[in-house]
Every structure is written in structure tokens, then in C-alpha cells.
């Protein structure tokens, strides 16, 4: 909304140029990740594009079953058997799509990191914490001496606030928050350029969550690590992310500066999602009727139209076209144009049957 039509395009183009000049860590173009099932392909990620600059945190939000975790895993090449990937994931000039499992494995750790929701399941209960670090360092930086590895371990743990006196403890001797700190240290000990954090604080209490979020914020400025933060908690995104991508039914429906998007959501889904979040300032209950669609048979055209309070006739008939708003904002919604592509009569309100209250996620 900041500039005219030309301004919007110029702004976007300029941003892309800057991105190219400083070298985006990650460029995702038209990524599709489909699962093969007996009912046909499940389109978990269906045409997703975005860039990530060094040190930038991109929040990825949406309801469960919208493909957030699949996207995160696809970026790291961690997809289950029977998944097909199409599109481009350019990481430091190399395309991760089509890379062999061995090559990807070599990249994971030193270049690509992952922070999980439940840290205990990722730590070997029979291995001392120091041993976990030694294993990771050995695998990816074989030249290090024993003393150097120990030094790096203590340093990494100190960074996340784990006292050196505890490096030789076992995972079960730590609390949930400490374990998540250890996982973060483990993900960052090799200084990866890009990290996916999949709901890193969901299992934690609110105070520990705040600690971990502050820690993540400090670390990315220190290490210049780019991060994709997957979460269902919009509050976390508002407080820790530079930009936010809103995902619905396998597509990014809105992407932009986190403050801008939260202050002035353009896509009806973003707006409804914000309204349905219960926070300390909530005074009335609001929710989106219905549930995210079955991605094996997504609704035609705009996938949100069956639940959208502002759906027009065109929304059910023609695929929406991505539109750039000012400030690098992208929206995938017919409300925002392009208006010359809307067929005659397409702007009329869509008549629908009411969605039953029990049809919900």
C-alpha cells in the first residue's frame, strides 16, 4: 500500500537485486513436494517460492496439515520414502533438489541444521552430552584434535548457557529447556548457514520458551545463521521473526515483513488466523469455520475459498495469481488483483452452503 503500481514492482525487483548481490543463502523456487498414497498424490507443498538472506529469520505459520513441516524437511532433504520433489532449492549456488542422499548428508550439519520440537528423542540417552558433540565434529571436521573438539564443545554449550561442569552429563540429567539448549548448541556447533527450527519451543513452558527465543535471537546475530522458524504460535513470529510466510494448503498465501503483515494482513486467511488466536488481549472468541482441506483433493482455484468470508465467484473458478504489494509483500488472493484478469461477474459474492460446526480440524 506504500507506493503505486510501479513502486510495488520496482521495490520488489530492487529487493531481488539486493538479494542477488549479497547472495541469498537460500532461494526456493516453485517447490512442490507431493506424497504418493493409495488415494493419489497428497500435495503437501505445492508451488512455494521464497528467499532467505544471511542472519534473517523467516517465520512459517499456518494451521496443522498445511504443509509447514513438510516444507521444512524438504529444504533439508529429510523426506520419507515415496515423496516426490520438484522445483529448485538453491543453497549457496547449489541445487538441493536432485542431490544424492550422500551429498545431502554431507551438507547436513556443517551447512544445514535442524532444531526439533522434542529434543529428548534426538539425543542418544546412552551418550554423554560431550560425546554427541564429538561425534558431530568428527563426522564433519575430521582434522580436529581431541583437545580442540572439547574446547569447541564447551564453547558451544557456554554460548547456550550450559555450564561447563555439566558437559559430561547424560541427556536425562537435564531439564526440557536445557535439552533444547543442547540441541541448539549441537545444531550450531558446526556453524551452519541455514537452520530449520520446527516448533522449537512448543513442548516448553512459557518462561523457558521466552529464554530459548531470546537465545535464538542472540545466536543468529552472532553467527549470521539464516533460520526458517516453523510455528503455529503467531506471538512467537511477531516477536522473533524478520519476515513471515503464511502457508495454507501447501501454498504460501502471504509473505512479507512480520510487523507489516501483522499490522495489516492482506490475505483473508492471515487476518482470520490472527483473529482466531487467543492471547492476553483477546476479548471475544473468533474462529475460522471448517478445516484445512484434504491435500489429496484440494479445492479448485483458491484453496481457501470454501472457508473464506470474502470469497468471490472468481475465487472458486480461477487459480489466484500472486500479487506484489509494497515493501516486498506478496499476496495470493483475488481481492488484491490483478483485477484485469478477473472474468466478468467474478467479483460477485460467492454463494455457499454453510459449513457444519463439527467439520473442523
Cα distances (Å, whole numbers) of residue 254 to 12, 180, 246, 322, 359: 14, 30, 5, 9, 25
Distance CA 237, CA 262 (A): 9
Q: Which member of 58, 237, 245, 247 binds another protein (CB under 8 A)?
A: 237
Q: Which residues pair with 36 in a beta bridge?
A: 41
User: Which region, judged by CB under 8 A, interacts with another protein, from 98-106, 116-124, 132-140, 347-355?
Assistant: 347-355
For residues 325 to 344, the per-residue mask of contacts with another protein, x marking binding by CB under 8 A and - elsewhere, is xx--xxxx--xxxxx-x---
Q: Does 236 bind another protein (CB under 8 A)?
A: yes
Nearer to another protein, 88 or 140 (CB): 88
> Closest distance between another protein and the C-beta of residue 139, in Å?
25
Degrees (nearest 5) of the Cα angle 172, 173, 176? 70
Question: Which residue, among 115, 138, 117, has the nearest Cα to 127 in the 3D structure?
Answer: 138
Cβ atoms 88, 24 nearer than 8 A: no
Nearer to another protein, 22 or 37 (CB): 37
Distance CA 18, CA 256 (A): 16
Q: Show contacts with another protein in window 21-80 (CB under 8 A).
A: 29-30, 32, 34, 36-41, 47, 49-51, 63-65
For residues 292 to 311, the per-residue mask of contacts with another protein, x marking binding by CB under 8 A and - elsewhere, is -xx--xxxx-----x-----
Q: Which member of 99, 120, 127, 350 binds another protein (CB under 8 A)?
A: 350
Nearer to another protein, 72 or 306 (CB): 306
Distance CA 66, CA 44 (A): 7
Nearer to another protein, 109 or 303 (CB): 303
Cα distances (Å, whole numbers) of residue 200 to 117, 216, 232: 5, 10, 11
- What nine digits make up the cell of 126? 546412552
Q: Which member of 117, 153, 211, 225 binds another protein (CB under 8 A)?
A: 211
Nearer to another protein, 108 or 276 (CB): 276
Nearer to another protein, 109 or 211 (CB): 211
- What SS3 class is residue 214? helix
Q: Show contacts with another protein in window 121-180 (CB under 8 A).
A: 155, 157-159, 161-166, 175-178
Query: Strand runs (DSSP E) across 231-287, as ranges?
Result: 243-248, 251-257
For residues 246 to 285, the per-residue mask of contacts with another protein, x marking binding by CB under 8 A and - elsewhere, is ------------xx--xx--x-----xxx-xxxxxxxx-x
Nearer to another protein, 12 or 55 (CB): 12
Cα distances (Å, whole numbers) of residue 259 to 48, 59, 93, 143, 310: 22, 12, 30, 44, 24
> Closest distance between another protein and the C-beta of residue 59, in Å?
11
Amino acid at each position: 500500500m506504500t507506493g503505486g503500481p510501479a513502486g510495488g514492482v520496482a521495490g520488489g525487483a530492487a529487493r531481488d537485486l539486493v538479494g542477488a548481490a549479497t547472495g541469498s543463502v537460500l532461494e526456493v523456487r516453485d517447490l512442490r513436494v507431493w506424497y504418493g498414497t493409495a488415494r493419489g498424490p497428497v500435495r503437501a507443498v505445492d508451488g512455494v517460492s521464497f528467499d532467505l538472506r544471511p542472519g534473517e529469520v523467516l517465520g512459517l505459520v499456518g494451521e496443522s496439515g498445511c504443509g509447514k513441516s513438510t516444507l521444512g524437511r524438504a529444504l533439508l532433504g529429510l523426506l520419507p520414502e515415496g515423496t516426490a520433489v520438484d522445483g529448485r532449492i538453491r543453497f549457496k549456488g547449489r541445487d538441493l533438489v536432485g542431490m544424492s542422499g550422500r551429498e545431502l548428508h554431507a551438507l547436513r550439519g556443517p551447512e544445514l541444521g535442524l532444531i526439533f520440537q522434542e529434543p529428548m528423542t534426538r539425543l542418544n540417552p546412552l551418550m554423554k552430552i560431550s560425546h554427541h558433540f564429538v561425534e558431530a565434529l568428527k563426522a564433519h571436521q575430521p582434522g580436529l584434535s581431541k583437545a580442540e573438539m572439547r574446547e569447541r564443545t564447551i564453547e558451544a554449550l557456554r554460548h547456550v548457557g550450559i555450564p561447563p561442569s555439566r558437559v559430561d552429563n547424560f541427556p536425562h540429567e537435564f531439564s526440557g529447556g536445557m535439552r533444547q539448549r543442547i540441541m541448539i548448541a549441537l545444531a550450531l556447533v558446526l556453524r551452519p548457514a541455514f537452520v530449520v527450527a520446527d516448533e522449537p519451543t512448543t513442548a516448553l513452558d512459557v518462561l523457558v520458551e521466552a529464554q530459548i527465543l531470546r537465545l535464538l535471537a542472540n545466536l543468529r546475530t552472532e553467527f549470521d545463521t539464516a533460520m526458517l522458524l516453523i510455528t503455529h504460535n503467531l506471538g512467537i513470529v511477531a516477536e522473533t521473526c524478520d519476515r513471515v510466510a503464511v502457508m495454507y494448503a501447501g501454498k504460501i498465501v502471504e509473505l512479507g515483513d512480520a510487523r507489516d503483515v501483522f499490522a495489516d494482513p492482506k490475505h483473508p486467511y492471515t487476518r482470520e488466523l490472527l483473529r482466531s488466536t487467543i492471547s492476553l488481549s483477546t476479548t471475544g472468541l473468533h474462529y475460522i469455520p471448517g478445516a484445512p482441506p484434504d491435500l489429496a483433493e484440494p479445492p479448485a482455484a483458491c484453496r481457501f475459498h470454501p472457508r473464506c468470508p470474502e470469497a468471490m465467484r472468481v475465487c472458486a473458478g480461477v487459480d489466484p495469481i500472486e500479487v506484489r504489494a509494497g515493501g516486498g509483500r506478496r499476496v495470493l488472493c483475488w481481492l488484491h488483483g490483478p483485477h484485469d484478469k478477473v472474468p466478468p461477474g467474478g467479483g460477485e459474492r460467492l454463494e455457499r452452503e454453510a459449513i457444519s460446526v463439527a467439520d473442523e480440524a
